[in-house]
Chain A
Amino acid sequence: MMRTRITLLVLASILYLAYCSQTFDVYRMLQYDRGNSQLGCRRTTLNGPVSHLTSVPAGKIKSNNTSIAYGGESLSFSRSTVIIKLADLLTHNDKSKINSIQTLVSRDDVTGIIIVVPDRESLAKENNEALLKSFSALERSLFLSETPIEKPVYFVFNNAQVEKLCDQIISEKGGDFLPDSHHIIIDASEASPINNILLTNFEATLRGKVQPAPAIAIVAHYDTLSIVPDLTRGLDTNGSGAVALLELARLFQLLYSSASSRGSYDLMFVLTSGGRLNYEGARHWIQKLPHATLDKLSFVLCLESLGSSELTMHVAEKYAEDDVISLLREFTQSAQHHNTKLEFSLKRVDVTSKEIAWEHEVMSRKNIRSATLSRFKKPVSPQISRSSALDVHVDVNILKNNIKMIAEAIANIIYKKESSYTLFKEGLTPSERFIESWLTSFGHFSRSIHEKNQLLITSLKNVLDRLTNQVNVQEFEPRSTTNSIKLYGNTKVKATVYKVKPIWFDLLLWLPIVGYLVLLHVAIVGVSQFKKNLSSLFSK
């Protein structure tokens, strides 16, 4: 007891020098291989000074190196890490903003980039459409770029701590005598590839009145990936589709639970994985589907990004037949009912293309009638860039309306128009609470492919199990093809920022110290003795 106290006291006397440096989480830009080409951000470690980059209005570029003008000749970072706010990065130079990260990276005097992004709350609250739009353009350009980034690029959420740090770094540029400067250390090992990605599909079925019954499948991929894996929420891409699927399952489960209102179709609800890996999950599901089920599958509807009141139904060109058109007419009518703008887009399925444009094309290739409902008018290519790292907001009311529209259209198909409208008018409407709670939980954790989220898998399985009692869980590894994507780890690491003084601060400190020591000597021995001592120092 006593001994421990003494040890504690001694320890306390030593440890009172706890550092007051700042540590926070930073999220690394995606590092990946496509086939044999190495892409994305290839570096992890940082150790060096930090500068802050702010926007300078055009024409106000000063020539001294304390003010930093972006892209101008006067820019000088003296081999430091650049910390920059996203808005500044995107508005710096309108002509070259798409390449601004690449422009910064290509500079010799920049050792790394830290981009401060607005936090999720302010992104969801404020109207940031212009920012989000230019950021996704930047993301796409990064994915399209064939040159790897050989410097570390990190993202960090803006919070009080980061804001204060930025202010401190800015103020160090002031005319202070002997200003503090800042030094950042990110001590992460070289990222290694993630080898055993395990994907999970969920297939839930509601049985029709008379067996065997024709089947309608609703398919949505629920996982996602973006340029910053650990920031990815993909609330619209494709959280909205997954939530819509769950809500549709809940609505039709209510209808199918009583024998009188049970439809003549089997309904299948399929949550697929690998939505950014060329729809690996959809491909696996259709491949593993028994022949009997495959034969009675009359229509597959894929849902992707439903957070808009302007939707497009993408159909493969070869299915522009009468029975498909009559099927799709139900959607047109239902859309009119709900004030949703619905367009149709016919596209030939390009079998030779390495990248699948839409999830329904996986089915189309197997000659199954299928369509994808999406807010995107055209497929976003490359597919991997479809989710933005800042996609964190979906309008619940729009999504609810879209779900209702889909539900009515499907009900029309199932019940052949008999009573569906009345059915859905009599209080059978999508539940805002259900939709909102799922969107909230999707906003809380990452559904990124790069790491398996057991909580997500369990909760998806549980909800489908509760709704349909018939859940089939498929676990599988993605095929490795010549063009397949390999992801790397170290997506979230710790950064520490230290306040440091320049080296000549200490050298300058020596002047008063030596002066003080000499004065001390003189004070003790007297001036005359000091002179004698001094001369004897040189006479030797």
Chain B
Amino acid sequence: MTFLHFVTCAVLTYAPTWVIYKSSEVSEGGYPNIVYGVIAYALTLFAKLLLMATFLPPETTTTVASSDSTLHLRINLVQEFVKTVIAGLDILGVYMIINKAVGRNVVKIVGIGLGWSLGENLLSRLIPLWMGARGLEFEWKHIQMALLSNINILLYISFASLVYLYSRKIADSLTRTLRIQMAFLISIPFIIECIKHLFGVYDSWTILFIHLVLVVLGAFISYGMHVKYSK
């Protein structure tokens, strides 16, 4: 039963990547983009961990502060903000490979987006899934994690499209809006963290839903900009 649950979660995590790959033009010679995406994700993750280990205090110091709730909240949000700034490295990571990618615009963007999310699924989700979903205790969080990975595919594809536009350097005014838009996508985890603490929303399903809404919003804006400027 538990192994079956692991299979269920794994399918929900990985199958959409494969379906999108197979259904889109990426499957017609776009696979190097996926490989680039995975490699770039791995390198960026390493750099991010390095920076986080340097700038963020170890976990233990935050638990000490938990006696004072407002102080704890402030430290928590500050930490999340630092994490968000560090997550800005993602832009650099995607920027480095977006021009090495092969194929048409769509193949580049979707390929890199898929590769990036595949990298995340492999490096950050596979082990927790393997360790957790096979456990005897049933928890919804593994299903939620799989659903989150689906939402993130959309997030990374729209992110890749923004970086692509940015690398084309079409117009100064566009560059400014692109920067704001990219900052929005990167800071989605930070926004959610703020909502969590400020409004006291801790239910995991609600948070997942907020995440979905934010990502869909970001994706719509990105798509609009892409349609307008990519020609």
Contact = CB atoms under 8 A, between A and B. Distances in A.
A and B are interacting partners = yes
Interface of A: 2, 5-6, 8-10, 12-14, 16-17, 19-21, 180, 183, 185, 498-503, 505-507, 509-510, 513, 516-517, 520-521, 524-525
B136 A500 contact: yes
Contact of B12 (A6, A183, A507, A513): A513
Given A16-B128, A521-B19, A521-B23, A501 B138 contact: yes
B132 interface: yes
Which A-B residue pairs are the 5 nearest by beta carbons? Answer: A5-B53, A17-B132, A524-B23, A498-B136, A498-B137
Contacts of A19: 135, 137
A517 B16 contact: yes
B186 to A, nearest CB: 19
Given A520-B16, A520-B23, A12 B136 contact: no
B135 A513 contact: no
B59 A8 contact: yes
Contacts of A520: 16, 19-20, 23
Contacts of B213: none
A9 B137 contact: no
B131 interface: yes
Interface string B1-30: 110110010011001100110111000000
Main secondary structure of the interface of A (DSSP, over half): helix
A516 B127 CA distance: 25
B68 interface: no
A185 B16 CA distance: 36
Nearest to B146: A513
A499 B19 contact: no
Contacts of B12: 513
Contact of A17 (B8, B15, B19, B131): B131
A517 B58 contact: no
B166 to A, nearest CB: 25
A500 B4 contact: no
A506 B9 CA distance: 9
Contacts of B5: 501, 506
A501 B135 CA distance: 12
Given A9-B52, A520-B23, A500 B137 contact: yes
B139 interface: yes
Interface string B98-112: 000000000000000
Given A17-B128, A19-B137, A498-B136, A506 B8 contact: yes
Contact of A6 (B50, B128, B135): B50
Given A503-B4, A520-B20, A5 B58 contact: yes
A443 to B, nearest CB: 35
B124 interface: yes
A9 B132 contact: no
Contact of A14 (B23, B131, B135, B139): B131
A502 B143 CA distance: 16
A503 B139 contact: no
B135 A9 contact: no
A182 to B, nearest CB: 10
B49 interface: yes
B54 interface: yes
Contact of A9 (B8, B16, B49, B128): B49
The range of chain B's interface size is: 20 to 34
Interface in B13-68: 15-16, 19-20, 22-24, 49-50, 52-54, 58-59
A12 B59 contact: yes
Contacts of B139: 20, 499
B20 A524 contact: yes
Nearest to A3: B53
A116 to B, nearest CB: 22
Contacts of B53: 2, 5-6, 8-9
14 contacts: A5-B58, A8-B58, A9-B53, A12-B59, A21-B136, A498-B136, A498-B138, A499-B138, A500-B1, A500-B137, A506-B4, A520-B19, A521-B22, A524-B20
Nearest to A18: B132
Contacts of A510: 8, 11
Given A183-B136, A521-B19, 11 more contacts: A6-B53, A9-B49, A20-B139, A21-B135, A180-B138, A501-B5, A510-B8, A510-B11, A516-B16, A517-B16, A524-B19
Contacts of A2: 50, 53-54
Contacts of B16: 516-517, 520
Interface in B135-175: 135-139, 141, 143
A533 B124 CA distance: 34
Contacts of B15: 513, 517
Given A2-B54, A5-B58, A13 B124 contact: yes
A390 B139 CA distance: 38
B8 A513 contact: yes
Nearest to A183: B136
Contacts of A499: 137-139
Contact of B137 (A14, A21, A509, A516): A21
B209 to A, nearest CB: 16
A331 to B, nearest CB: 62
Nearest to B132: A17
Nearest to B136: A498
A500 B141 CA distance: 13
A19 B52 CA distance: 26
Contacts of B24: 524
B221 to A, nearest CB: 20
Nearest to A507: B4
Contacts of B124: 13
A9 B15 CA distance: 28
Given A17-B131, A506-B8, A524-B24, A517 B136 contact: no
A185 B136 CA distance: 10
B23 A525 contact: yes
Interface in B71-89: none
A432 B59 CA distance: 52
Contacts of B23: 520-521, 524-525
Contacts of A6: 49-50, 53
A433 B117 CA distance: 71
Contacts of B138: 180, 498-501, 505
A26 B23 CA distance: 56
Contacts of A509: 8, 143
Contacts of B135: 19, 21, 498
B69 to A, nearest CB: 22
A264 B2 CA distance: 78
Candidate in B54, B59, B127, B137 with the most chain A CB atoms within 10 angstroms: B137
A20 B142 CA distance: 13
Contacts of B127: 14
A14 B23 CA distance: 33
A340 B21 CA distance: 92
Contacts of B54: 2, 5
